[in-house]
Amino acid sequence: MYEGLLFKQHFEQYSKDAAENEKNGLIIAKRRFTRDEEKKGVPDSSDITEVKDLPTCLACVCLSGSVYCEETEIEEVPPLPKETAYLYARFNKIKKITAKDFSDFPTLRRIDLTGNVIEEIDEKAFEKLVLLEQLSLAENKLTRIPVLPTKLISFNANHNLIKSKAIKANAFKKLTNLAYIYLANNQLDSVPPNLPESLRVIHLQHNNITSITDDTFCKSNDTRYLRTRLDEVRMEGNPVILGKYPNSFTCLRTLPYGSYFK
């Protein structure tokens, strides 16, 4: 709801800003291109304001550091304004994320690519995004998780094809700010290892997890260890019977959601 209200406010302001032709990084046409018999569709240069390195904003909405490219049927990440902080490119036809797509945009704080058809992401595609806090790759066709930025707070990869063997042992270990992991509706057969101490919520429902260990969430060699921040673990819809592993939750403040009896 918050994002919807924010987008509405931005969009309402867009017409006003365009009329004033402020220097806000937008590409603004004085009037639409016209076609005549002599020019064959080539617009007169006097009819267009100076382009300011933002070709994407002709097809998308660019406002105050945010780029909205939703349901535009684009097949790759578009060129972005250099000061882009928030990218919303949901429900398109993007198939691949390359290492070059975000290499020149260290100001990015949020990327939402939900609802595309992404099958492949270059291993270092997000490596240079030192400020990125929120990344959503939900509802795609991913089979593995790439290297994630160190300051990430929220990672959403719900509804993909990710398997446990495709998640590196230390994929989340060094992400000391990571608080939210969403991996529901994938093909995991185990809980990702080495979950960070910063974790507050992890969603693993509707996977193929069959068992857990005393070290999955806790530390079997430290009976005093507590995960004081982790207060939501969802594992319903998995074959695992949680009641068989009572020592796996002794460090948690609340029990995981899931099946405890057959």
8 secondary structure, DSSP code: H
What would the mean pLDDT of 20-47 be, rounded to a whole number? 36
162-177 pLDDT, tens digit each: 999 999 999 999 999 9
Helix, strand, or coil (residue 87) = strand
CA–CA separation, 73 and 57 (whole Å): 15
151 neighbors 131 (Cβ within 8 angstroms): yes
pTM of the model: 0.79
Look at residue 58 and give its three-state secondary structure.
Answer: helix
**What are 206-252's pLDDT values in tens digits?**
999 999 999 999 999 998 999 999 999 999 999 999 999 999 999 99
94-262 sits in which CATH class? alpha beta
Domain parsing of the chain, residue ranges: 94-262
